[in-house]
């Protein structure tokens, strides 16, 4: 199993903490409470394995289709609605929001191919990720990609109650390929994808999606 580079430091620190705790338990209880030692060993090891698994980097087949917008993350669809996008595009857009639980892979994949036209990091609050105001009030990044046919797709990495570390490798002017990795959100959050209002929605609220594999929208030709 490959581990994402964003997890190296956290995995090392959590492993060291678990080792220190185990040594303390062993020093004070190894001769009197064998059951406690066995139980604590199992719990600490399971916790460390969970941290390692959180930063797993699965192998995914790269799919390229200019008519499709793919899910940028693993998770479950929690919002599908038309909204007014007032940060950059200043128009009504179809929004699809995907919530990532702490058990999901937290890598983020580029939903479309094109050129990065706009990028901005917004400091903010840490409301629960499915809260309606999290898209505009939480810590987040906003990215707009201009497609070859001049359409624009906007997406936001949104921090949640637990997630307080958004990583994005995007810079304005970058040429990006569909389903390349563009970032990581640590410990649970959501991503909003905003596409032209007349696009064909391919998912419903409650649907599970797989990052870089599940098409969520079909763009209509103009």
Sheet containing strand 181-185, strands side by side: 107-109, 181-185, 166-168
- For this structure, is 71 an active site residue? no
Other Cβ atoms within 10 Å of 27 Cβ, number: 9
* Residue carrying structure tokens 């949104």: 158
From residue 61, how far is each of 49, 58, 198 by CA, in Å?
Answer: 26, 10, 28
Alpha helices in 7-89 (DSSP H): 8-29, 34-54
Asked if 138 and 160 touch (Cβ cutoff 8 Å), the reply is: yes
Q: Distance between CA 101 and CA 8 in Å, rounded? A: 21
Q: How far is CA 103 from CA 9, 91, 108, in A?
A: 19, 35, 15
**C-alpha–C-alpha distance, residues 186 and 131, integer Å:** 18
What's the rounded Cα separation, in Å, for the pair 72 and 192?
9
Which member of 40, 71, 189, 212 is catalytic?
A: 189
CA 166, distance to chain mean position in Å, is 9
Q: Which residues are catalytic?
A: 189
């Amino acid at each position: 199993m490959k581990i994402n580079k964003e997890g190296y430091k956290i995995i090392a620190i959590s492993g060291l903490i678990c080792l220190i705790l185990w040594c303390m338990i062993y020093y004070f209880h190894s001769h009197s409470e064998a059951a406690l030692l066995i139980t604590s060993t199992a719990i600490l090891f399971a916790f460390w394995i969970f941290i390692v698994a959180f930063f797993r980097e699965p192998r995914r087949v790269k799919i390229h289709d200019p008519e499709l917008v793919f899910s940028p993350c693993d998770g479950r669809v929690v919002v599908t609605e038309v909204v007014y996008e007032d940060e950059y595009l200043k128009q009504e857009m179809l929004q699809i929001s995907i919530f990532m639980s702490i058990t999901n892979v937290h890598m983020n994949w580029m939903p479309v191919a094109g050129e990065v036209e706009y990028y901005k990091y917004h400091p903010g609050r840490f409301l629960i990720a499915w809260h309606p105001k999290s898209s505009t009030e939480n810590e987040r990044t906003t990215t707009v990609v201009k497609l070859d046919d001049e359409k624009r797709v906007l997406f936001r990495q949104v921090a949640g109650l637990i997630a307080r570390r958004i990583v994005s490798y995007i810079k304005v002017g970058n040429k990006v390929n569909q389903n390349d990795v563009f970032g990581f959100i640590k410990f649970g959050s959501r991503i909003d994808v905003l596409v032209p209002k007349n696009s064909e929605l391919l998912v419903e609220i409650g649907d599970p999606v797989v990052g870089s594999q599940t098409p969520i929208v079909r763009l209509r030709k103009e």
